[in-house]
Amino acid sequence: MSVEPFADFFMQNRMKKIEINESLKVPMLFVFKVAVLYLVWRILKYNGEHNPQFLYGYWARFYELMCFSLASSVSFVIEVLGYKYFNEGRVVIIEGSRGIFIADLCAGIPAMVIFSGLIFSYGNNNKSRLWFISLGLLLIYAVNVFRLTCFVLIQKHCPQYFKFAHTYLYVVATYGLIFLMVVLWMNKLAFKKSNFTL
């Protein structure tokens, strides 16, 4: 079998412009943007986890600040619920329980990056994009406070379920919220022609 027919075909068509079906441009651009943002995030995350002085230490300080903020918010909710508690830095303990330590992975930053990246990558409505990302980040933070508060309460009242809750509660709550918000963004707000208002 000769490869000449293939070579002739290639040579004849090499100068033709490849035209992309108009209906595929938006999805292809979306996938490309998400892939680039994910690659940048993974590089930043890797460097932040392996080099304490990455970005002059601001990376580690940001995580620390986020974890302290979450611990303070959880402590506030626990106090409102009437529990005696102890809070020191990232640790929140209800009296008579083991409590929780809020590690970097519990900060919810990857979920916030995923959400922001998806919204940033789709559509052309920059005016709505700004407030929608802000709203989404606030909601993800609130869900994270709710999740961590549940963990503290589970440690107090039914610690045998802590591992199950720790494994599944965040995934279902946070990524369920992200999915719903991304669907809302894509269907109602992503493009300037949208007349949807909240």
pLDDT in tens, 29-41: 888 999 999 999 8
* pLDDT above 70 for 4: no
What range does the domain containing 79 cover? 25-189
* Residue-level pLDDT at 15: 46
* Domain-located, residue 20: no
The lowest-confidence range among 17-21, 140-144, 160-164, 191-195 is 17-21
* Domain-located, residue 181: yes
Tell me the mean pLDDT in the region 162-189. 91
Confidence of residue 49 (pLDDT cuts 50, 70, 90): confident
* pLDDT above 90 for 17: no
* Domain-located, residue 29: yes
* Domain-located, residue 1: no
Q: Are 151 and 163 in contact, with CB atoms under 8 Å apart?
A: no
Distance, in Å, from the CA atom of 178 to the CA atom of 19, rounded to the nearest integer, reads: 34
* Residue-level pLDDT at 171: 85
pTM beyond 0.85: no
* Domain-located, residue 2: no
* pLDDT above 50 for 139: yes
Distance, in Å, from the CA atom of 37 to the CA atom of 31, rounded to the nearest integer, reads: 10
How do residues 56-108 score in pLDDT, each as one tens digit? 888 889 999 999 999 999 999 999 999 999 999 999 999 999 999 999 989 99
Reduce the DSSP state of residue 65 to 3 states and report it.
helix
- In the block, residue with structure tokens 């269907």: 187
* Domain-located, residue 18: no
* Domain-located, residue 52: yes
Confidence of residue 14 (pLDDT cuts 50, 70, 90): low
Mean of per-residue pLDDT scores for the chain: 87
Per-position DSSP letters for 103-128, written without gaps between them: -GGGG-HHHHHHHHHHHHHS-S-HHH
Confidence of residue 152 (pLDDT cuts 50, 70, 90): very high
| % of the chain beyond a pLDDT of 90 | 63
- Give the Cβ contact number of residue 198 at 10 Å: 9
* Domain-located, residue 132: yes
Domains: count for the chain: 1
User: CA torsion sign, 39 to 45 to 51 to 55?
Assistant: positive
| % of the chain beyond a pLDDT of 70 | 85
